[in-house]
Amino acid sequence: MTTLPAYQNIKNHILNAIHNGVWKEGEAIPAEMQLAKQFGVSRMTVNRAMRELTAEQIVIRIQGSGTYVAQQKYQTTLVEIKSIADEIRARGHIHRSELQELSQSKASDTLKALFELKTKSTLYHSLIVHFENDTPIQVEDRWVNAAIAPDYLKQDFSGITANEYLMMAAPLQGVDYQIEAITAPEHIAALLHISTHEPCLVLHRKTRSMGCVASIATMWHAGTRYRFSGGF
């Protein structure tokens, strides 16, 4: 273990003290000048340590008053899921999509239940393959509530993703997700250019708008070519 920078030692000292309950939520922490003397360090060094702890929401600082321990942080950790098109473009690669299917039908019993419908309303269905530099990266199998997005069939999905259109068509109220690892059925595997026994990273997403289910999508990714990532 190499010697840590002075500001990091100060941060660790503060973090430990809070963690061990020496200072509790809302309580005041010694002033910069005092900590500077205590650690035999310049005030600027203490200031950096405290400024970083402020950015990390460990403490709250009030000018003219003092430094206080912040409310405890969220214990749950989060993973970000990004838009496939934005993600590809952000990497500086070319995003292209191919519309495999676009149709309209009455909801089956299964879909009626999934969409939480009382009657067998009209649904739209699309099957789109997203490419990154001509490599198929995602197959997006989507059902859309016609009542929410009546113009869905008229969209040009080469210029706008289904997701982007839905975000424009109606305000998003809520989302539910599931992520799983399974093998793909034949027609999906073919579109991804993989074999049927290769693992797929699958994201199921249900979005809500206007008080009802707007869209249910299943997004298939080749396990060898795609992963979700995130952090804080």
CA 136 to CA 109: how far, in whole Å?
A: 32
Sort strands 59-62 and 122-132 into parallel, antiparallel or unpaired: unpaired
Residue 67, binding choice from DNA, a copy of itself, none, Cβ under 5 to 8 Å by partner class: DNA
Write down the least CB distance from residue 80 to DNA, Å: 25
Q: Is the distance from CB of 130 to CB of 156 less than 8 angstroms?
A: no
Nearer to DNA, 29 or 219 (CB): 29
Residues 111 and 135: their CA atoms lie apart, in Å, by 31
Q: 64 vs 211, which CB is nearer to a copy of itself?
A: 211
Q: Give the residue among 2, 1, 6 at the shortest CA–CA distance from 44.
A: 6
- What is the token pair recorded at 72? 């405890």
- For residue 131, what are its two tokens? 């490419």
**Shortest Å distance, C-beta 72 to a copy of itself:** 5
Shorter beta-carbon distance to a copy of itself: residue 10 or 127 = 10
Q: How far apart are CA 89 and CA 71, in angstroms?
A: 38
Q: Per CB under 7 A, which region of 29-37, 86-94, 145-153, 163-171 contacts DNA?
A: 29-37
Does 140 engage in binding with DNA (CB under 7 A)? no
Between 74 and 101, CB nearer to a copy of itself: 74
164 binds, among DNA, a copy of itself, none (CB under 5 to 8 A by kind): none
Rounded-to-integer distance, Cα 46 and Cα 79, Å: 32
Question: What residue ranges bind DNA (CB under 7 A)?
Answer: 5-8, 29, 31-34, 40-45, 47-48, 50-51, 54, 61-67, 118
